[in-house]
Amino acid sequence: MREIDARALILGLLPPTAGTVLVDGKRLFDLDRKARARLIQPVFQDPFASLNPRHTIRDIVALPLEAQGTFTRAEIDRRVGEILATCRPFRRDGRAHAIATLRRAASATAIARALVLEPRIVICDEPTSALDVSVQAQILNLLADLRRDLGLTYLFISHNLAVVEHVASEVAVMYLGRIVERNETDALFRTPRHPYTQALLESVLTPEPGRGVPDVGLGDAMPDPANIPPGCRFHPRCRIAVERCRSEPPVLMVRAPEGIVECHLA
């Protein structure tokens, strides 16, 4: 498939141009949109941008069930009540949280809306990036509890390496639309193989005074997604690139037990 927004593609927001997405061995786009919605649901980055402020929390969470057109009002009320009790966007007295924790309530509502259809897969698109640290920890703990209790699979997208290390069981590192390395979380953080993965981990700031911002050798020029370089797309910023990297695209290589890496020199 073309290198477009995979999140929108998997959710059915964009039509596929080529290639195949398989879930449990079945072609995803052989399913109609309602069937895909029952299988996969999103939690978007900013809950205030993805929730309608004119609707109540219960109406927001009920909407996916109503869109299916197969649930009775009693079934909708029951399932909405169950998922709200699980995700806890309300205080015990039934009112929304105070302003200090309003973002927590909004995030919990977005998660409840995603889970009310009991999907198999939840795409979490930076679901904690708009939250302060204390609320972020609450939402991450909620997601972990839900994954354990409901048997969910998360596709968790984040730029926060600490969050990725805490949440993920397996990590895929992307550069300009390509997966350049994939491995189990502990192995990837312990022994990164791709130069870009190594640079990402070296760029993490430390609380030690005087260390400053680490120089990981990536330079100041940002990559242009509309102008993909030939060969390895990371070579203009790579510290170990050789002539082959400038002309020959690498292929993903399985290097057990080091996982999968796309690099001529890894």
pLDDT digits (tens, 9 = 90+) for 16-68: 777 788 888 888 888 888 998 999 999 988 888 888 888 999 999 999 999 99
DSSP secondary structure letters along the chain: --SS-HHHHHTTSS---SS--EETTEEGGGS-HHHHHHHEEEE-S-HHHHS-TTS-HHHHHHHHHHHHT---HHHHHHHHHHHHHHH--B-TTSSBPPGGGHHHHHHHHHHHHHHTT--SEEEEESTTTTS-HHHHHHHHHHHHHHHHHHT-EEEEE-S-HHHHHHH-SEEEEEETTEEEEEEEHHHHHHS--SHHHHHHHHT---S-TT--S---S--SPPP-TTSPPSSSTTGGG-SS--HHHHHS----EE-TTS-EE--S--
Mean pLDDT, range 188-216, rounded to an integer: 80
Q: Is-contact 167 147, C-beta < 8 A?
A: no
pLDDT tens, position by position, 213-225: 666 677 777 888 8
Which structure tokens are listed for 151? 């048997």
Higher pLDDT, residue 77 or 103: 77
User: Is the Cα torsion angle 89, 95, 99, 100 positive or negative in sign?
Assistant: negative
Q: What is the pLDDT of residue 99?
A: 45
Domain ranges of the chain: 31-168, 175-204+229-266
CB atoms within 10 A of CB 52: 9
| pLDDT score at 96 | 47
Report the DSSP pairing between strands 170-175 and 153-157: unpaired
Residues 6+ apart with CB under 8 A from 85: none
Mean residue pLDDT of the chain comes to: 85
Q: Do 15 and 21 contact (CB within 8 A), yes or no?
A: no
Q: Which CATH architecture has domain 31-168?
A: 3-Layer(aba) Sandwich (3.40)
Q: Could you tell me the pLDDT band of residue 3, with boundaries at 50, 70 and 90?
A: very low
Q: What count of Cα atoms within 13 Å lies in the side-chain half-sphere of residue 144?
A: 13
The model's pTM is 0.82
